[in-house]
Amino acid sequence: MIPFDNIPNNLRSSLFFSEISVNGSVPTVQSNNDPAPPLISCDGATNSMSFSQIAGVWSIYVDDFETPVATGNIGPALSQVLTAYSGKLIGDYDGVMYIQSTDTSNHRIKLEPISGTSFTANTEDNPTFLEYEDGSLTFCLSAMPKRYFEGIGIDPNGPDVNFSVSGSDIGSIKVTDPNGLESIFTPEPLEAVHLGYIEGFYTISSVNGFDNLIGDVYFKSSLNQSIVSIPTIDSVTRAPTNIVTILGTAKPFSVVTLIPDDNDDEPIAYSRVLEGESNFSFILELPVAFSGYVRCRDGNIGSEGATLNI
């Protein structure tokens, strides 16, 4: 654990308008008389943090570590914070706790133990999490992407195709159903958008794109319950401009997704395999030394991945 007043130099940064200089262990504020903002790095931060167990009385600070937003048992205290930062932070507590930023700015969080406290933090959620000798906990919640595609699937009890999007500026989402009918939705973050069910390809797009995707989302609605065969990669080439072309074959009338190894099994691009055909392709810019895999999906059933490195 790290003493709260002796944060290592590589975790310090100049923040806000105060232009903090860090030399040794004592920061000085150079340009105004406001309280020194917290020296908590947001390098590598994610937009969420969770605890598999947390209890007791805590003070919760947001950005200003001088005055807590709320003090009390962790559940009610979290509720007060979420109310104070409505539209910027979301979360929940039922013994397990999570908090997430839906804002366009980073937020630095401090939990200060008051009495009867205990916790188990899911530190893999957010590499900025730190515990100090006085028992305080800090972490940074990164800004929410403007538009993040969360996923799409079928509720077989409907059946009903539904998807969700998160972000700070979602705007209008266009859905083209298998009959070619276009619909415009303006969903709230994480709202389940229900599309009904028509077998075939759905296309989901945004005028300004999705921050976590290259191109549109394709989904083949199907009540298929059979194993989907692994796609075959026929060729992978990289142009001097870093544009990569991936060609292969997969199950006819399905969707192939491209997934980086370090992306928690979340696709970054989609390709359709049309009915009566088997070819798929991706033409997109990828970083040097990219490694990942392609997976074929028919309804809710996905294949194993065919790996590639380039």
d(CA 45, CA 66): 22
| Tens-binned pLDDT, residue by residue, of the chain (310 aa) | 544 444 444 443 333 333 333 333 333 333 344 444 456 889 999 999 999 999 999 999 999 999 999 999 999 999 999 999 998 999 999 999 999 998 889 999 999 999 999 999 999 989 999 999 999 999 999 998 889 999 999 998 899 999 999 887 899 999 999 999 999 999 998 899 999 999 999 999 998 899 999 999 999 999 999 999 999 999 999 999 999 999 999 999 999 999 999 898 999 999 999 999 999 999 999 999 999 999 999 999 999 999 999 9
- Could you tell me the residue ranges of all domains in the chain? 9-141, 145-219, 224-310
Q: Given this model, what pLDDT does residue 50 score?
A: 98
Quick one: CA dihedral 71, 73, 78, 84, positive or negative? negative
Is residue 161 within 8 Å of residue 221, measured between CB atoms? yes
pTM for this model (two decimals): 0.67
Place of tokens 């009959």: 179
Buried b (16+ CB within 10 A) or exposed e, 134-145: eebbbbbbbbbb
Distance in angstroms (rounded) separating the CA atoms of residues 170 and 206: 9
187: exposed, middle or buried (Cβ count in 10 Å: 0-12, 13-18, 19+): middle
- The Cβ of residue 89 has, within 10 Å, a number of other Cβ atoms equal to 23
Query: Tokens standing for 262?
Result: 């370090």
Examine domains 145-219 and 224-310 and report if their fold is the same.
yes
Structure token pair of residue 26: 């004592």
Q: What was the pLDDT predicted at 168?
A: 79
What fold characterizes domain 224-310? Immunoglobulin-like (2.60.40)
Q: pLDDT tens digits for 161-174?
A: 999 998 878 999 99
d(CA 223, CA 160): 10
CA–CA separation, 164 and 170 (whole Å): 11
Note the CATH number of domain 145-219: 2.60.40
